Structure 1
């Protein structure tokens, strides 16, 4: 079996160029030192760049064969003598900046099928309604369906078997992954929807009763602002009687559920398997750890952080750091966990 290379090796780059990309300072090493690529600490060989920001991997740093390392000032003395050192404020962020320059094709999903018959941009095996409007440069891969009245901006790629519903609006330079579905939605520019994302389907709304449950029609939309990225198999329900909104720059991981009428602010980070119940509101820059549930109609204030595997069932103030079940300020949560541990240990000695 052959061993394909999915991302082309970058051109050889000097250490000085890497420092410029990373917004870092060369404190040890030849600025003309050639850098041929990147690697993890344990796999690096001559000519490779690595980064270090977690003390759990000190042993791997000590043994690395890399040519150069991005590192914070506080860990500079841990970099082996034979390795060039580039000091930066946040090594992981600097690493991201370098990767973006060396591997630009990895920043957004690539077309699955590849070039479509030379200059053609719309596959003959796609179904595009005559009333759909596609700007120049839109790529539509085989099996995709684009409904009547849909409008799609220049530079956007619609992946294989994706479905774009009637009257949907998608901005410029977006990527809609294979098998994604988009309905009842307005999407801004530079939005990335990974494979299997479902946008704009019914929210979960029923009037429950002993004689049966009456479905409540969901008549709102989904509004996704610029520079949002949504991970594979995440679902975003359309609003019930107003819009579900995801603010600009927000990043959502795989397998997240966003219920109807949810408002997510700008530049939030929501990790895998989070569930946001209907009508909850997140302020700007909120971060929520994986497998956390947020109850309906709850508000989480700007800049708040929620620990993984928590249950948020009440208001979280701006800047709050909460965790646990139910979620509470982390200091209180840690005290309770410690007290419970001590109580259990005493019980075991009895």
Structure 2
């Protein structure tokens, strides 16, 4: 079996990114370290990608920003727009270029990332999502390419630079707020279970309810991407279960799911918050322009972008820094989409 970049890194006692930079004659790597890496390459018979040895890095640096594969929803989701705003703000201040990479499906996205990597068009990467069994992250890791991940890494967590919220705690905060209003029957609507942020928020809701002797029934959990043709059908089944009481409170993993919940309520003749309290995440402009305005967990998306760009540039300048995880705080913003149950109001009176 041919030697890999990780084999060379292990033998030389450096990180894979240091091997990658040595292959392209980066001035950020000392001559002593370069010599150690080249000796390991020779010993293992490692052949770097075509043209890598001959290419000298230019003074310009570029951070590649990888959006999740999607035909439309990635560009429509205000979370990604706000994260991009934070990344570009920091990169502009540091005189670092940015390149936006996306694709209509995973195959197209991976092909684009590989093309940029082969042609050395990008010096470091920021992945704006975290999913189980993701081919893009696996490719970056296997090739020893620098990347920062926004979200909880689903693979190689101890070797990944990550920027995230504590999404379990955020889910707990949402459930705690609603139970404080007297709600006892809940639904959760979120993305496909491959998406780590959504499953973590669902786990937080479930954990908080369990602590209060309540339950999040499987029948009232909908985990489906908003661009799935079955999304409305699956979410409606969770809001109107065939057995047991109808939920009086819904936690939506993001605003796009909350918008679909509002649509279903309108179709079914339910009024928010009179018949159903609704809380969401992100706190973008969507939360303020819908009626009633959404109570939301503000996850500080722009700060997530700023921190991710800061980490990408820091590790670009210092390739042997240890991987780290940065947690960005969140806070609950109260608006008009939640209200106390009648039982709570009577008790208070």
Q: Same fold (TM over 0.5)?
A: no
Bigger proportion of residues as helix: 2
User: What TM-score bracket applies, with the shorter chain setting the length?
Assistant: under 0.3
TM-score, scaled relative to structure 2: 0.26
TM-score, scaled relative to structure 1: 0.26
- Structure label with greater radius of gyration: 1
Bigger proportion of residues as strand: 1
